[in-house]
A and B are shown apart, each in its own frame.
Chain A
């Protein structure tokens, strides 16, 4: 199954841990697409930089729109407002770091 990698930038006021980020995304996916939707995505956090707020997540290519929708609906974590901006998508991790044409 082919995968899709996403470079996500978190814009937040309070420090955000990796655990908080995973929980928030998983909750949003489960809320909007259910447990089956969550399972079919095969979601994984590849890396996360708490200082910059940059994260790389990967999911099945067929579920790209679902993941993007779920990321859009993440509004707050522990009562603090947050925005998860998908900056870039690619078929490989290496592709995320390549400069835009």
Chain B
């Protein structure tokens, strides 16, 4: 009805195997594909690297909440991280030009942070993030980050938020459609048994003589 094709579900690791199939079937009934997603929140780089080693292969999308400068630098540089996001309520942490230059994945803007905002600073902070992202041509993902049906917004509303926050029309449309879908496609390919390493893929098997 709203216009989404797939949805990324943040599933706790303890119930990943039990719930993923049930959830997949539930969403398939309404014509939505599902991908599993994990949000890593770490206090230091060692913890982040440990969690990445442990969970990268279990989830389709890995995102990291940047809580401090060390974690943000590692998360931006590491190629196993798909998206990074910043809590606008965390005054100490912001998306800087240095992080934008380091970033391999994409920057995510969660609409839930803007909807839940207690202070008007969240919008201002999001605008500054988008200005940096635009300057460095960083890939941006606009997501609803919803935890209840009342927080769901349509893709065209997300696109409009992107434009209002300072992204161009094209960049904003990509942030809702092509960037998230390319992340999902590349990760699904990476997790397939035919994948060897980046640029190397098994195209067929034959008996060696």
Contact = CB atoms under 8 A, between A and B. Distances in A.
Given A73-B115, A85-B2, A65 B163 contact: yes
A64 interface: yes
Contacts of A68: 156-157, 159-161
B1 interface: yes
B154 A69 contact: no
Interface residues of A, number: 18
Interface of B: 1-2, 111, 114-115, 148-154, 156-161, 163-164
Nearest to A9: B1
Given A72-B111, A73-B115, A87-B1, A11 B150 contact: yes
Most chain A CB within 10 A, of B1, B150, B151, is at B150
Given A72-B111, A85-B2, A87-B1, A64 B160 contact: yes
Contacts of A72: 111, 115, 153, 157-158, 160-161
A26 B156 CA distance: 20
B31 to A, nearest CB: 13
A81 interface: yes
A96 interface: no
A75 B160 contact: no
B150 A89 contact: no
9 contacts: A65-B164, A66-B164, A68-B160, A69-B157, A69-B160, A72-B157, A81-B148, A86-B154, A86-B156
